[in-house]
Amino acid sequence: PLVSDAEMLGTPDPELAATMGFSGFGKKARTFDLEAMFEQTRRTAVERSRKVLEAREREQEDQTEKEFRIPCTDSSASASSAARAGPTLTEREAVYSESEDNSNETLSGPSMQSQSSAKGPTEDTDDDDDEFIGPPLPPGFRDSDDDNDNDDTEEEDNNPVKKIPDSHEITLQHGTKTVSALGLDPSGARLITGGYDYDVKFWDFAGMDASLQAFRSLQPCECHQIKSLQYSSTGDVILVVSGNSQAKVLDRDGFPVMECIKGDQYIVDMTNTKGHTAMLNSGCWHPKIKEEFLTCSNDGTVRTWDVNNEKKHKSVFKPRSVQGKRVIPTTCTYSRDGKLIAAGCQDGSIQIWDRNMSVHTKFHCRQAHASGTDTSCLTFSYDGTVLASRGGDDTLKIWDIRQFKKPLNSADGLPSFFPMTDCCFSPDDKILVTGTSVKKGGGSGKLFFFYRETFQKLYEIEVTDASVVRCLWHPKLNQIMVGTGNGLAKVYYDPVKSQRGAKLCVVKTKRKERQAETLTQDYIITPHALPMFREPRQRSTRKQLEKDRLDPMKSHKPEPPVAGAGRGGRVGTHGVTLSSYIVKNIALDKTDDSNPREAILRHAKEAEENPYWVAPAYAK
Q: What is the pLDDT of residues 556-592, one digit of tens each?
A: 777 766 655 555 555 555 566 788 778 777 777 666 6
* 428-486 pLDDT, tens digit each: 888 899 999 888 888 888 889 998 888 888 888 888 888 899 999 898 888 999 999 88
pLDDT digits (tens, 9 = 90+) for 183-205: 999 888 899 999 999 989 999 88
**CA nearest to 109, candidates 90, 127, 137, 87:** 90
Is the pLDDT reported for residue 90 higher than 50?
no
Closest CA to 536 of 526, 546, 545: 526
User: What is the average per-residue pLDDT within 252-262?
Assistant: 90
Cβ-based neighbours of 211, under 8 Å, separated by 6 or more: 510, 511
Q: 333, 342 in Cβ contact below 8 A?
A: yes
pLDDT band for position 115 (50/70/90)? Answer: very low
Q: What three-state secondary structure class fits 164? A: coil
pLDDT on residue 463: 86
- CA–CA dist 620, 613 (Å, integer): 12
Which of 20-29, 92-101, 289-298 bottoms out in mean pLDDT, i.e. has the lowest? Answer: 92-101
Sheet with 479-484, edge to edge strand ranges: 168-173, 488-493, 479-484, 468-474
- Nearest 5°: the CA angle 32, 34, 36 is 100
- For residue 238, which of 306, 297, 192 has the smallest C-alpha distance? 192
In which region does residue 198 sit, left (phi positive, over 0), alpha (psi from -120 to 50) or beta (all else)? left
Domains of the chain: residue spans and CATH: 162-507 (2.130.10.10)
pTM of the complete model:
0.60
Q: What is the pLDDT of residue 330?
A: 92
CA distance 353 to 320: 12
Residue 24 pLDDT exceeds 70: no
Least confident window among 5-14, 120-129, 396-405: 120-129
pLDDT for 297 equals: 93
